[in-house]
Amino acid sequence: MLSARSLFQEILDSDDSYQLFCSIAASGETQGGWENGRIAALVPDSMCELAPKIIRHGADEDKHGRIFNGLLKKRGLDPVDVPPETDYTMLLERQGIGLAHDKLRQDQRLSERDIIVYLSHSRVTEQRAADQMDMLVRYFGDHPEVGRAIRQICHDEDNHLAYCHEELLRLAYAGHGRAIQRTLHECALTEITVYRDVSLAVMSHMGRLLRWPKAKSAALAAGIHAMYAYERAGGWRRMVSLKMPERRNALGGPATTAPVL
């Protein structure tokens, strides 16, 4: 029977699929670290109080990249090139979601509107990350090889999501509510499409590496399309709601180091 647990167990048991999985994850986290570092350097003076939290966010993402690379090293594997059709971060950018890398490479200060775009984009993508890590912790939190790593990342993703909620609500109270809601909706509706496409691409690569029969690949693809249909019909709304988190000032302290794997 197909399930998230059995699927990930297959990926974990094969060096080739595990290598691709960790490489994709490490690449995405490292990109996120760079983006947050540049945003922190370019934050407008009117929002300078956000800079330390953005730096902390970026440091966490860099740490996650090191964790996934560490998992590869622990098994004696090297990172592999990430197929472009599986690059979630860059595909979102190509769809106009988040701040363009060309803008972040410049030395011009960002605007308050840019920070709203950044936080809204983060609110949506961190929801996705938190949901995925919650699932992995539920099934593999006690796994001797990856358990400690995914528990650490899950904790950080929950902090990132809390930070996005709190800062967006603060900006909404300051008069940016309509802009925030509009941007959140745009991000969420685009993200669910990109996530579907990336999921299909990842499963296609995994299917070839693990030599899945056509029927199994077709069943997984059907499941991905069904999830997209659910999200398109209204599931996306969980990604745009805002509520004050229990974890207040979740990124107010120094970043923790990567665990020894």
Q: What is the mean pLDDT of residues 144-157?
A: 96
Q: What is the full DSSP assignment across 62-119?
A: HHHHHHHHHHHHHTT----PPPGGG-HHHHHHHTT-S--HHHHHS-SPPPHHHHHHHH
Dist. CA 195–CA 208, nearest whole Å: 20
Q: What is the mean pLDDT of residues 218-231?
A: 97
pLDDT at 252: 85
Q: What is the residue whose two structure tokens read 């979102």?
A: 92
Confidence of residue 253 (pLDDT cuts 50, 70, 90): low
Whether pTM exceeds 0.85 = yes
CA 204 to chain centre: 20
pLDDT at 2: 72
Q: CA nearest 136: which of 159, 122, 155?
A: 155
| 179-206 pLDDT, tens digit each | 999 999 999 999 999 999 999 999 999 9
For 126, the 3-state DSSP assignment is: helix
DSSP state of 2: -
| 28-73 pLDDT, tens digit each | 999 999 999 999 999 999 999 999 999 999 999 999 999 999 999 9
pLDDT at 59: 96
| 108-143 pLDDT, tens digit each | 999 999 999 999 999 999 999 999 999 999 999 999
Between CA 62 and CA 70, with CA 65 as vertex, the angle to 5 degrees is 125
Query: Is pLDDT above 90 for 218?
Result: yes
Q: Are 112 and 92 in contact (CB under 8 A)?
A: no
Q: What is the residue whose two structure tokens read 């909404």?
A: 172
SS (H, E, C) 132-150: HHHHHHHHHCCCCCCHHHH
pLDDT at 17: 97
User: Which domains, and CATH codes, for the chain?
Assistant: 4-239 (1.20.1260.10)
pLDDT at 255: 62
